A and B are shown apart, each in its own frame.
Chain A
Amino acid sequence: MAAILEARDLHAFYGPTHVLHGISFGIETGGISALLGANGAGKTTALRALCGMIATRGEVTFDGAPIRGKATEDIVRCGVAHVPEGRGTFAALTVEENLRLGAYTRKDKAALGGDLERVYHYFPRLKERHKQQAGTLSGGEQQMLAVSRALMMRPRLMLLDEPSFGLAPLLVQDIFEILRSINREEKVAMLLVEQNAAQALDVADHAYVLETGRVMMSGTSAAIRSDDSIRRSYLGY
């Protein structure tokens, strides 16, 4: 299967600090990959680098076209939805307004109603609260909102930064189930950044293990899950 996103020798910098040292990875069209590693390994930085939010060097292509060096909003308009660390919801706006903003760049506005319904089908709780201010939602609901907003873009690729963060274990399972459905039904490729390696490996086909800005190991989730030494050294379980 072709790769929808490919990063080759990607370097990233926070100001003068060199944080990613030439990492390479790829995501298959319609597949799910995971970026794993301990705190500070550079996982969030990698997502930010893909979206052009920080200074970078190297090569990144989306669907064959180069996107490195482009502005965030232009990369997003190519079909990349980023669910950031901390969810990034518009706290002062309502749930529905947040969702509509997800569809901001879509040309086919007529399909909006149908898309909203589909999103509410995945997350009925959002429908209940659709007139509520997003800032008053619980952590789990905000996560649902963030994923839904990304969905409203009808993206080809979703970047998810720690979707399990701060959520109760049962809720985490629910969300990952839904992510799997979205991937299957909407044919959206996903790149998951997770500290909760077990959950991520359950859902992803392929995984990369990062440590201090370098790729230490890559392989299918099955391979990484079964490798005891990797699990113990890098994934903490």
Chain B
Amino acid sequence: MEALLLQVLSGLATGGIYASLALAVVMIYKATHVVNFAQGEMAMFSTYLAWQFIQWGLPYWGAFFLTIAVSFVGGVVIERAVIRPFEAHDALLAVVTVFIGLFLILNAMAGWTWEYTLKSFPSPFPAQAYLGGYLSGHQLGLFGVVLATLAIVYAFFRFTPLGLAMRAAAENPDSSRLVGIRVSWMLALGWGFAAALGAIAGIMVAPLVFLEPNMMGFVLIYAFAGALLGGIDNPWGAVIGGFTMGVLENIMGVYVVGTELKLTVALVIIVGVLVVRPSGVFGKAVVTRV
């Protein structure tokens, strides 16, 4: 019983990473109705930037916040330069292909700049283990960082005029224009936020796995599964879904299928949710009129 509880807690800690990335994905989905397949690679690239800043002598938290700021700007730039030209394109093939192209370019740039050798990434939290050795200092710290981040994001969207404007632009772009909101810039800001969230997810996960260009692939699939599970158009759902996937990963891994089939678990959940209840647990069921 105690072991199960500890697995759950440990799962919640890593679930925070999935929740952050899932929130980033849902943010962009709400505004554009497309899933950003390159979200993981953007996060990976941000993590490499953080690593580089630390290599250049910046203290950990300095590098952390600098990376978030740079990633935010990077997200805005990517939206303006790469995504915006395709805004008018209706064809799904065009949009997703561009995301895949972005994925490949970011992955290649990271590999070319920092090479493919595994690197270790520092953690600012004490290395000791808590709760009888089941939770590392990093996992606890990670959980705290994620909660703080989510709280800040929530407060921003709920209480600030800009946050309100971004919510409005995502929900109803036409009406938003009628109150003077520059909808296309709201979109760019949304990308900036998503990129910043991804950076936090990447920096937090890097000490747990090794830093290498393909490190976010697993995290991204789990984030997708969490976002779908919670409801792809629901930010709360994304967060809850992400935490759930973390717990599920641990429970399934220890008690059911072993650690080898973790990705298969995500696959089953993704296909399962899409087939049984595409709007997810908390999402709104969309009825298409013929």
The smallest beta-carbon distance between B10 and chain A, in angstroms, is 36
Question: In the assembled complex, which residues on chain B have CB atoms less than 8 Å from the CB atom of A81?
Answer: 178
- Give the docked Cα–Cα distance between A109 and B164 (Å): 15
Q: Which residue of B lies closest to A83 (CB)?
A: B178
Q: Given A100-B161, A104-B161, are A72 and B168 neighbors across the interface (CB < 8 Å)?
A: no
| Contact bitstring B161-201, A, C-beta under 8 A = 1, else 0 | 10011011001101111111111000000000000000000
Whether the pair B167, A149 counts as a contact (CB closer than 8 A) is no
A49 on interface, CB distance cutoff 8 Å: no
Q: Interface residues of A toward B: which range? A: 20 to 34
Whether the pair A90, B180 counts as a contact (CB closer than 8 A) is no
Q: Which residue of A lies closest to B170 (CB)?
A: A92
Q: Which residue of B lies closest to A98 (CB)?
A: B168
Q: Which residue of A lies closest to B172 (CB)?
A: A90
Whether the pair A105, B167 counts as a contact (CB closer than 8 A) is no
The smallest beta-carbon distance between B212 and chain A, in angstroms, is 41
Within A98-126, the residues touching B (CB, 8 Å) are 100-102, 104-105, 109
The smallest beta-carbon distance between B111 and chain A, in angstroms, is 41
Question: In the assembled complex, which residues on chain B have CB atoms less than 8 Å from the CB atom of A73?
Answer: 177, 180-183
Contact of B172 among A53, A88, A104, A153 (CB under 8 A): A88
Whether the pair A76, B179 counts as a contact (CB closer than 8 A) is yes
- Give the docked Cα–Cα distance between A100 and B162 (Å): 11
Whether the pair A77, B164 counts as a contact (CB closer than 8 A) is no
* Of A97, A101, A153, most B-chain CB atoms within 10 Å: A101
A68 on interface, CB distance cutoff 8 Å: no
A82 on interface, CB distance cutoff 8 Å: yes
- Give the docked Cα–Cα distance between A84 and B174 (Å): 10
Q: What is B's interface to A at a CB cutoff of 8 Å?
A: 161, 164-165, 167-168, 171-172, 174-183
16 A-B residue contacts at CB 8 Å? A53-B174, A71-B177, A72-B178, A73-B181, A90-B172, A92-B171, A93-B171, A101-B164, A101-B165, A101-B168, A101-B176, A101-B179, A102-B179, A104-B164, A104-B165, A104-B181
User: Which are the 6 A-B pairs with shortest beta-carbon distances?
Assistant: A105-B180, A88-B175, A72-B177, A76-B180, A77-B180, A73-B177
